[in-house]
Amino acid sequence: MAGSIDKVVLITGASSGIGEATARELASAGARLFIGARRGARLKALAEELGETVAWRELDVTDAADVEAFVTAADARFGRVDVLVNNAGVMPLSPLAALKRDEWKRMIDVNIHGVLNGIAAVLPRFVAQQRGHVVNVASVAAHMVMPTAAVYCGTKHAVRAITEGLRQEHDEIRATLISPGVVATDLGHDITDPDVAAALTGWRKKSLTPDAIARAVRYALEQPEGVDINEVIVRPVAADM
């Protein structure tokens, strides 16, 4: 079904994992893409591979001005902005008693403020153009809580609440929450607790590949204007979590 998405789509965290797979999937569906993350070299290589309908810019989602500039640059490149996929996220898990305040703050900054910065950067233009679509990548951690993941789950619960609030406040905007189960990506590479890192390796024994999540994003984008896919949970078959 090539060419089914005639939209300009912005994707944060597109330098690896789910964001990269989403860029590949949406590019194959005909979308024009503006992709961002901190690792510019990876974005450049991906954009060159996917062709001239994909442009990139280095982006730190924790910096509100940088997110504004990212959206402005996308508009300058393609002349419009239709969809924002807030995908960037980090997951340095640890028990609360380890008191890893810096890691808590990083999760809150990237996973919550990053999403809010994205919403703030597109909301005025979506309201003005009376249409737009925000896709937030949350997690099954938006639906459950488990030891070592208290703060991460807190951030993803917040993303779920914010997405639902956006939906309720704006009739003209589509709001979608995509909640993956375990996916084999680099997420958690920055876990500093060795026991938790070992547990993550165990969880990943039953995992999806990122293209499974990319297809869920595509499904939400391909719906007619009057259809709002509010939430999709995608787990491996027989998932433990």
Residues that bind ligand NAP (CB under 6 A): 12-19, 37-39, 59-62, 87-91, 110, 137, 139, 180, 182-183, 185-187, 210
Query: In terms of CB distance, is 61 or 119 closer to ligand NAP?
Result: 61
Which CB sits closer to ligand NAP, 123 or 233?
Answer: 233
Residue 15 Cβ vs ligand NAP, minimum distance, rounded to whole Å: 4
The nearer residue to ligand NAP, 19 or 154, going by C-beta atoms, is: 19
User: Is 152 among the residues known to form the active site?
Assistant: yes
Choosing from 152, 173, 178, 196, the catalytic residue is 152
3-state secondary structure the chain: CCCCCCCEEEEECCCCHHHHHHHHHHHHCCCEEEEEECCHHHHHHHHHHHCCCEEEEECCCCCHHHHHHHHHHHHHHHCCCCEEEECCCCCCCCCHHHCCHHHHHHHHHHHHHHHHHHHHHHHHHHHHHCCEEEEEECCHHHCCCCCCCHHHHHHHHHHHHHHHHHHHHCCCEEEEEEEECCECCCCCCCCCCHHHHHHHHHHCCCCECCHHHHHHHHHHHCCCCCCCCCEEEECCCCCCC
Active site residues: 152
